[in-house]
Amino acid sequence: MTAPSGHLPALAAAVLQPGFVGTTAPPWVCRWLGEGLGSVVLFARNVVDSAQVAALTATLRAERPDVIVAIDEEAGDVTRIESVHGSSRPGNFALGAVDDPDLTEAVARDLGVELAAAGVTLNYAPDADVNSNPANPVIGVRSFGADPALVARHTAAWVRGLQAGGVAACAKHFPGHGDTRVDSHHDLPRITADRDRLDACELAPFRAAVAAGVQAVMTGHLLVPALDPQLPATLSPRILGGLLRDELGFSGVVVTDAVEMRAVADRYGFAGATVRALAAGADAICIGGERADEQAARELRDAIVAAVVSGELPEERLAEAAKRVGQLAAWTVAARTARSAAARDAADIGLIAARRAIRVTAGEAGRAALPLTRAAHVVEFEPPRNIAIGAETPWGIGAPLGELLPGTSTVRYAEPDVPGDPGAGAEGRPLVLVVRDLHRHDWMRAAVQRALAVRPDAVVVELGVPELVTGAVHLATHGATRASGQAAVEVLTGAR
């Protein structure tokens, strides 16, 4: 093995998108920006508020003016910029329920203007997955819906809106994470659809995103035998080169989903998956959701350099990847300059959208249950959180309901701590049962059935996918964001 050329470490650093810990820029990140690092990614741990993020990104930009600052902000249940309070926007599934592409574009543009003002230049959104499997544990309300045509038109609208706001969009998780029961954070999902089904369903939103000019596409750690029977999409030349580049005509940056996720890291190693992804056609490697220190970044940089020196990774491929990252950086600089004076849309556009997404199903016996006019008892059933959503973001309707109906009490139950009568404590008061993806959780369904047997007049509020409608009054928000909760409370109380 020969010694690495002096430019290789800088090329290797250029294709990394590492995360870090803290609300200020660590010295190692600043040093790396001067040594070739082209991007960083922010998570909830890096965010206090928009002013703090703006100060953080200004520090990064002082080291490298064209640094790409990415964030995973879906403006729904998955939020980083508003993780402390919950998103002021309703999320993809709610926008799909409204099915007004102009509204979707306006919400995305408003988000883009907000992110751009904070110095963010790349957003890992929209989620372009078609949630065709209701049992999906990781997509759900992150998707615009189960209909490919609907998801395609809203994916395109989101891309147009976000990029009009000055931030590069990144459609994910290619070639489609919707039809699976497995979370790729934990294991490798297998998509069993044939090629005709993939063309008609999973690939339709990505074709729309490319046609809309999306600047980046994020790969999914997915095994799709109809496309490649051996390698997951992130590591597959057939999928990244043959399908995404050649067939779909995408010429922007291909970003991997977090490379430390077990779907690929358990099988190919942290560094091994990185090298294979670059060789397959990926241009940028996302890291740092779980490994967020200089050691992790150095491990990957050194592995990339070693792979080039050994011939495992052609230097031309690495140079091509770094060039694409540089082209995206130039796009973000131009977009930031051109749209520096862009104005926010109506301050309450997220709440406006959340209100339009509310759906109420009431039988004859339930119509008298609303509006609630006195203090209620709220029972919130908490399912396990997936890593994408995170544990820090608040959800529920108890707090905003209590603001309008003082004296309202709230309890929250998770498996296996649900009592025999979950509605106990509601005697003489309205009972509100709050669920998330009721159809996916046997324990939750059983608890709700017990509560309804005692209190058939209880109101059921679904903050997830309303696959199962139950109760005399059922209110579906199509998401668990702060805006969705507020909109639900307005309907419950007749405040609007």
Q: Distances in Å between the alpha carbon of 4 and those of 17, 37, 280, 389?
A: 22, 18, 22, 40
Has domain 7-340 been given CATH number 3.20.20.300? yes
Which phi and psi (to 5°) does residue 460 adopt?
-100, 125
Say if residues 72 and 83 touch (Cβ distance below 8 Å).
Answer: no
Q: Distances in Å between the alpha carbon of 336 and those of 89, 115, 204, 320, 331?
A: 23, 11, 30, 24, 8
Q: Please determine, for residue 366, whether its predicted confidence score (pLDDT) is greater than 90.
A: no
Say if residues 106 and 443 touch (Cβ distance below 8 Å).
Answer: no
Q: Is 185 annotated in the active site?
A: yes
Which phi and psi (to 5°) does residue 350 adopt?
-65, -40
User: Where are the domains positioned within the chain?
Assistant: 7-340, 358-493
Given the residues 154, 173, 185, 474, the one annotated as active site: 185
- The arrangement of secondary structure in 358-493, i.e. its CATH architecture, is 3-Layer(aba) Sandwich (3.40)
Q: Where are the alpha helices (DSSP H) in 281-395?
A: 294-310, 315-338, 349-357
DSSP 254: E
Global pTM value: 0.95
Q: Is 257 annotated in the active site?
A: yes
Given the residues 257, 283, 345, 437, the one annotated as active site: 257
Q: Please determine, for residue 6, whether its predicted confidence score (pLDDT) is greater than 80.
A: no
- Residue 5's pLDDT is 59
Task: List beta partners, residue 286.
Answer: 17
Pairing of strands 168-174, 122-123: parallel
Of 205-214, 354-363, 378-387, minimum mean pLDDT range: 378-387
Task: List beta partners, residue 292.
Answer: none
Which phi and psi (to 5°) does residue 486 adopt?
-65, -40
Query: What is the tens place of the pLDDT at every residue in 78-89?
Result: 999 999 999 999
260: left (phi over 0), alpha (psi -120 to 50) or beta: alpha
Say if residues 465 and 133 touch (Cβ distance below 8 Å).
Answer: no
Q: Please state the rounded mean pLDDT for residues 351-359.
A: 98
Query: What is the tens place of the pLDDT at every residue in 222-276?
Result: 999 999 999 999 999 999 999 999 999 999 999 999 999 888 999 999 999 999 9
